[in-house]
Amino acid sequence: MLRAFFIGLSKAGWAQRLFTRWGVSRRTAARFVAGETSAEALQAVRQLNSAGIQATLDVLGENTTSLAAAAQSASEVRSLLDEIQAAGARANVSIKLSQLGMNLDPAVCREHLFSILEGARAAGNFVRIDMEDSAVTALTLNLYYAALEAGFDHVGIVLQAYLYRTETDQEEVLRRGGKVRLCKGAYREPALVAFQSVDKVCENYDRLAEKLLGAGGPLLSSDGRFPPVPAIATHDPRRIEAAKRVIERLGLPKEAVEFQMLYGMRRDLQEKLAAEGFPVRVYVPFGTHWFPYFMRRLGERPENVWFFISNFFRR
């Protein structure tokens, strides 16, 4: 119920106009969003790198409403790749295809995606395509497959364990030599397409993670830019322990998996895993379009809501 409420707010224009006028909203969002500029985000990355943690940077924005805005978003991502290279940061980038015009013109989106991948190849970096809601899962995967077929091997995809279709999708991505970041899923989805029970989602997550770990993949490069297959994305200690048991049973080195988490969440767990010798990567979002992302974070965990409320009454 809580999650559905905040996901609904994330899509409401009136809520965005109201919340973004409040200074307390911006201050509270700063826990989960590393500023509004790339300079602020790169400073957050430097702090993570100093703790032995890698990053993936995301210029916030989704569901662009014009092709001009999509072109601007693509330009910002290409510039970010250059900034990462110039800064020597151990970071790659994450993108949402709806930000590049996928819902307006898939052919234009494909052009923007390929231009970003060309830029990443020139910069020696990696791009992760985020998965959005189930209405665009098939289209997102088709664009990802087009990138693989075009010879871009430095690009990965996110798959969501709460969708029924994900087991089949994961098998197909791996068959094509793709790179998977497995997460539970952060959108409100109907029972027709997704598990509604937390227990069922966790059960499916563990099953998919085991298959992903069993599939193997390349090890992490020394500069931290190229994540291995697989990327296990969760803040749930039980899911992490389940993955570690699979790693031990299969006799895999710690470097054969990467645990991924979100900026502002479970830094203690991030540092613990890094200290144990596991590669850890933190998703670092930034930009002026922070409202939808912030609402989804509030909806994921009750403690995030209490964090927001406590800051609100501390104004």
By annotation, the residues acting in catalysis are: 130, 181
Q: How far is CA 130 from CA 162, 167, 193, 232, 241, in A?
A: 15, 17, 19, 14, 24
Scanning 1-105, the segments in alpha helix (DSSP H) are 2-10, 13-19, 23-29, 38-50, 67-87
Three-class secondary structure of residue 270 per DSSP: helix
Cβ within 8 Å of residue 35, ≥6 positions away: 41, 43, 44, 286
Beta bridge partners of 54: 281
C-alpha to C-alpha distance for 191 and 21, rounded to whole angstroms: 35
Q: Which residue has the tokens 């209490």?
A: 306
**How many Å apart are CA 291 and CA 297, to the nearest integer?**
10
> Rounded to 10 degrees, what is the CA torsion of 130, 135, 138, 144?
-20
Q: Which of 112, 95, 100, 96 is nearest to 56 (CA)?
A: 95
* C-alpha span between 298 and 315 (Å, rounded): 19
